[in-house]
Amino acid sequence: MPNPKSIFLAKLFIISFLFLQSIHCQADVSDLAIADSLFEQRSYKEAMEVYQLNYQLGVYSPAMLLKMSFIAEGIGDKEKATLYLSKYYDLNPNPQTLTKIKSLTGQDDLVGYEVSDVRRFILFLVEYEEIIVGALAIFLVGSLISLWITLRKHAESSNYWPTVLLIIVIFAVNNFLKGPNTGLVTSSPTFIVDQPTAGGELIETVEPGHRVRIKSSKDIWFEVEWKDQIGYIKKSNVTRL
């Protein structure tokens, strides 16, 4: 029969690995503090360099995205300003942000910004993923300690399922909880066609600012959802959010 202490140590190693994995992509706090300081001093170019480095690593916060959009708009790069605001909208969907995006793009009837209750819930989970994983990790450590104590006293009656379930949930949240796979149309004009070929029938011609739900990737094309139908857009015309 395996040594209960060995089982405990093995599980503790697993949760430690998962927890470290969940925080491996966090930003360098000191770097971001410096960037925020530069922003406050109106050294926007230097601040933007730090922000972009973290953004490329997939590390950002709503406040950081707003600052990046402000800087991009200030230098006349409305495309980037729209991109950062659209990403911010994913984290914090609200009418004010959408109004600003419409102003930047010069379009009043944008597609792809509808937010259902289910999507809002998913966005909430994505935004607070690290807190959720941290809380689950604390519960798991408590479960491991409780299991260890139980094993020492009553090995036959030990129940492993709560611990196993917590490990599975943490792994799933950390690796599979993702926001909607959306893309921002960034080229003018952009053609949405019904087949992933240059000879596909035209569905619609759209301008930058619209958003599409990306379903899959095929060579130089994205398969997307557009107004409740499936279409194809060249990857060069879309920026992933």
Beta strands 238-240; 182-185: pairing state: antiparallel
Residue range 127-141, pLDDT digits in tens: 666 777 777 777 777
- Alpha-carbon Rg of the chain, whole angstroms? 23
Is there a contact between 48 and 203 (Cβ–Cβ < 8 Å)?
no
Residue range 8-30, pLDDT digits in tens: 545 555 555 555 444 444 445 67
pTM over 0.85: no
pLDDT given at position 75? 94
Domains of the chain, earliest start first: 182-240 (2.30.30.40)
Q: Which helix (H) or strand (E) holds 88?
A: helix 78-91
pLDDT given at position 188? 86
Which DSSP letter does residue 208 get?
B
Q: Which helix (H) or strand (E) holds 222?
A: strand 221-226
Residue range 40-81, pLDDT digits in tens: 999 999 999 999 998 888 778 889 999 999 999 999 999 999
User: What percent of the chain is modeled with pLDDT above 70?
Assistant: 75
Higher local confidence (pLDDT), 39 or 168: 39
Three-state SS for 5-38 is: HHHHHHHHHHHHHHHHHHCCCCCCHHHHHHHHHH
Give the Cα separation of 73 and 71 in Å (integer): 5
Lowest-pLDDT range of 116-120, 152-156, 234-238: 152-156
How confident is the model over 110-114, as a mean pLDDT? 89
